[in-house]
Amino acid sequence: MPVKIYNTLTRKKEELKPIEPGHIKLYVCGITSYDYCHIGHARSALAFDMIVRYLRYLGNKVTYIRNFTDIDDKIIARAAEQNTSTEELANRFIDEFYVDMDKLGVDRPTMEPKATEHIQEMVDLIGDLIDKNMAYPSGGDVYYSVNSFSEYGKLSGRNLEDMQAGARISVNENKSNPMDFVLWKASKPGEPSWDSPWGPGRPGWHIECSAMSRKYLGTTFDIHGGGQDLIFPHHENELAQSEGANAKPFVNMWIHHGFVTIRDEKMSKSLGNFLTIRDILDHYHPEVLRFFIFSTQYRNPLDFSEAAMQDAMAGLDRLYECVAAVERLSANYSENTETVAGNKDKAKIGSMEKRFQKAMDNDFNTAQAQGILFETVKVMNKILRQLPDTPAEEDYKLLQDAAATLKKLAAIMGLLQENAANYLAAKKAAMLARINISEEEIVELIKQRNQARTDKDWARSDEIRDNLLDQGIELKDGPEGTKWSVKRS
RNA sequence: GGCGGCGUAGCCAAGCGGCUAAGGCACUGGUCUGCAAAACCAUGAUUCAGCGGUUCAAAUCCGCUCGCCGCCUCCA
């Protein structure tokens, strides 16, 4: 089954056909490094992490490039505020970025080039554009001439007339057309600068991606990705630069993911309604954030709320509890016991991986893929419930296989990566830490309650249970005795 | 104003021309239990924002209306 991807350029879902069969070349716009990353950055990193993992799961080689923008206006401004150099500031937040990414379990891309380490490549590319009369130096700057590229606007579906009619563009006397954008900026005194044929300066934002993708992936590559807010102007301009300079198609497919919103508004620094990744990880397990982010398809907006995170946690727990239950089964199965799994159950479990793939093939539909995991869990729980003490060999193996497949598929979304028993135990411990009662006390109270139960002193028994419940401890009486868990708040 | 997207049960979310409209969370009833909890089973949209149209057949395609969001300025 081919993978179908929604291509921003054509506004259609298209089959992914790598230029080099079995080898997919992907470039993603990474962060501008001047502050801690927020959940929106997490969504971007996680979405492409999932895409890369899935493509590799299918057997492809994936070359994944994600850049760091480590020089730009915001970095210069922030460094000045903090009385430090742009280099120190950028590197500091690159380190912080890795702290977050490692906690989230994001795999490192194949290569992570920095803009400042590719100045020569950018200067060369700008030179190519000037040679072709597609760019012009002016007052120490160099500008791209949008009129020189007849297809300008094809990615974002705009045309020059409409944009100029909307005119929210600041007037700049160096430009011959107000829509022209800067490739090289003359540096002001005190700003970081590099030598160039047009005098000391620094690169414009868009040129770095054109230069670095050309260096590492070639003039035409398979997929370019980023957030929807990058479609215009960033990706439109990249495309104009690259196709202008190389006279070849830049990218076959453009993938743009949706935003994280809060109360249905885009999370952004200017609105001040953003939450950093570490804010979230202070309160939730990284996989809860992953589960939440993958609970909708990557192109749709995703509204953050505490309630949504609680839902995500409940869902993730359900998956872990099922896996833990299977792993708790002892291997003393028998060949003589009758099986409890029906044909429908076996079919449902047996088809899980195919159905999961079908969902993922359809533009990485993780929401549907999660649904398929849950359908399987439902069947597994049903079998587990009916299982006798000495289960049939067939049932035992069916469940073990199902749990293994479940973990394998969940891993594409970075879920179920921990040992299930450990995950649940750690969670219990973490929740217990927030409550003023020790494990020993709980065990002692359960002992007392069980004595009361033996004596049929239900009043005393219920009193103990209710008191524990008030403190957030839930008791569950089962055939193997009383178990307890910390209640979800 | 230009361009793009969205509107499916209490909430979240799949489905993108044709089997009973996935799944999660919450709720309710049942099994279990001394009573609970957990787990399991069952139940919920005659209907997919509204109105028209195309079709043997539409949540799915087309048009219009209403509502929400995003881009057009740095932004994942």
Q: Boundaries of CATH 3.40.50.620 in chain A?
A: 4-279
Q: What is the pLDDT of residues A129-152, one digit of tens each?
A: 999 999 999 999 999 999 999 999
Q: What's the pLDDT tens digit per position in A214-225? A: 999 999 999 999
Position A230 scores a pLDDT of: 95
A109 touches strand B (CB under 7 A): no
For residue A167, what pLDDT is reported? 53
DSSP A279: H
Q: How far apart are the C-alpha atoms of A338 and A346, rounded to whole Å? A: 15
CATH for the A305-424 domain, from 1.10.10.60, 2.40.160.60, 1.20.120.640, 1.10.1740.10: 1.20.120.640
- Measure the CA–CA gap between A376 and A380, rounded to whole angstroms: 6
pLDDT band at A372 (very low <50, low <70, confident <90, very high): very high
Structure tokens at A66: 């994600």
Token pair 């708790």: residue: A328
Residue A448, pLDDT score: 92
Please state the length of chain A.
Answer: 489
Q: Is the CB of A33 under 7 A from strand B?
A: no
Name the nucleotide nearest A377; use CA and C1': B23
Cα angle at A9 between A254 and A229, to 5 degrees? 65
At residue A386, the pLDDT reads: 85
Residue numbers in A 173-212, CB below 7 Å of strand B: 205
**In CATH, what is the architecture of A4-279?**
3-Layer(aba) Sandwich (3.40)
Q: What is the mean pLDDT of residues A371-396?
A: 90
Q: Which two tokens stand for residue A165?
A: 């009619």
What average pLDDT does chain A have?
92
A226 touches strand B (CB under 7 A): yes
Q: Residue A427 pLDDT > 60, yes or no? A: yes
Residue A163 pLDDT > 90? no
- Look up the protein residue whose alpha carbon has the minimum distance to the C1' of B23: A371
Q: pLDDT for A19-37, tens place per residue?
A: 999 999 999 999 999 999 9
- The answer to whether the CB of A372 falls within 8 A of the CB of A348 is no
- Residues 41-70 in A having a C-beta less than 7 A from any atom of strand B are 41, 43-44, 69
Write out pLDDT tens, residues A330-342. 888 888 888 888 8
CB neighbours (10 Å) of residue A166? 9
pLDDT of residue A76: 96
Domain with CATH 1.20.120.640 in chain A: 305-424
Nucleotide closest in space to A232 (CA vs C1'): B71
Which tens digits make up the pLDDT trace of A261-320?
Answer: 998 888 887 778 889 999 999 989 999 999 999 999 999 999 999 889 989 999 999 999
State the pLDDT confidence band at A475, using cuts at 50, 70 and 90: confident
> How large is the C-alpha radius of gyration of chain A?
28
| pLDDT at position A123 | 97
Share of chain A above pLDDT 70, in %: 98
Strand B bases contacted by the protein (CB, 7 Å): 1-6, 11-16, 22-26, 33-41, 68-76
* Percent residues over pLDDT 90 in chain A: 73
- The tens digit of pLDDT for each residue in A62-97 reads 999 999 999 999 999 999 999 999 999 999 999 999
Residue A430: band (very low, low, confident or very high) from pLDDT cuts 50, 70, 90:
confident
